[in-house]
Amino acid sequence: MANRPIQVVPRGLLGFFQLKNAGENPVELGSMLSPTIESRDWYFSSRAEPLIGGSSILVPNASTNLVLSGSSVPANEHWWIERIMIRAILIAGETLTAAIGSTMESGLEYLLSETLTAPAGPSGFRLQADRPFFAPSGTTFGVAVSQATTAGNITVVLTMRGTKLTPV
């Protein structure tokens, strides 16, 4: 019986392409094959700050798009929005169907979250965007109200956390 290896290890990628030198990984490929990790999200998250800290808006008894004052990305800036959220407290008899919306400088309008209907109050209403995103300069944020039932106004509070990106 001939001596054979107990286990034959499959050849690796460098061995398959015959790039090994006497069984050793070549030194020249070290810089080209170095392992990397995606660091963009970590970098932005480590520099995140409150961008809008509790701007409130009164929602009338109507269907409308409402822009929050002070919720625009300034000129010469882009924002990486990590989290954007709206909250409201509804009292008895009030209902609200709304989504987080944005309008870009070009006039395009986007919904940043699903549309949520809160049950007739008293209840809490909380809605958050699905994932982080970039917002170019001139983008404004607000609430897209599909339906609201109230005797007066419903106060909706928007908070946003992200990173300001300025050109160098």
3-state class of 109 per DSSP? Answer: strand
Answer whether residue 71 is part of any domain.
yes
What was the pLDDT predicted at 36?
63
Backbone angles phi, psi at 34, to 5 degrees: -75, 145
Look at the alpha carbons of 14, 16, 22, 28 in this order and tell me if their dihedral is positive or negative. Answer: negative
Q: Look at residue 140 and tell me if it is in a domain.
A: yes
Inside any domain, residue 97? yes
Q: What is the pLDDT of residue 79?
A: 92
Length of the chain as a residue count: 168
CATH number at residue 159: 2.60.120
pLDDT-based confidence at 121, cuts 50/70/90? low
**Selected residue with higher pLDDT from 12 and 103:** 103
Look up the domain containing 138 and give its range. 50-165
User: Which sign does the torsion angle of CA 10, 13, 15, 20 carry?
Assistant: negative
Question: What total of structural domains would you count in the chain?
Answer: 1
Q: How far is it, in rounded angstroms, from Cα 146 to Cα 100? A: 11
Block residue for tokens 């999200």: 41
Q: How is residue 74 written in tokens?
A: 């300034």
Amino acid at 166: T
Q: How confident is the model at residue 163 (pLDDT cuts 50, 70, 90)?
A: very high
Full-prediction pTM beyond 0.75?
no
Question: Which bin fits 54, alpha (ψ -120 to 50), beta or left (φ > 0)?
Answer: left
Task: Answer whether residue 24 is part of any domain.
Answer: no
Looking at the chain, list the stretches that DSSP marks H as alpha helix, in order from N- to C-terminal side: 13-16, 40-46
Task: Tell me whether residue 55 is in a domain.
Answer: yes
Q: Percent helix, strand, coil in the chain (nearest 5)?
A: 5, 50, 45
Residue 155's pLDDT band (cuts 50, 70, 90): confident
Q: Mean pLDDT over residues 19-27, rounded?
A: 63
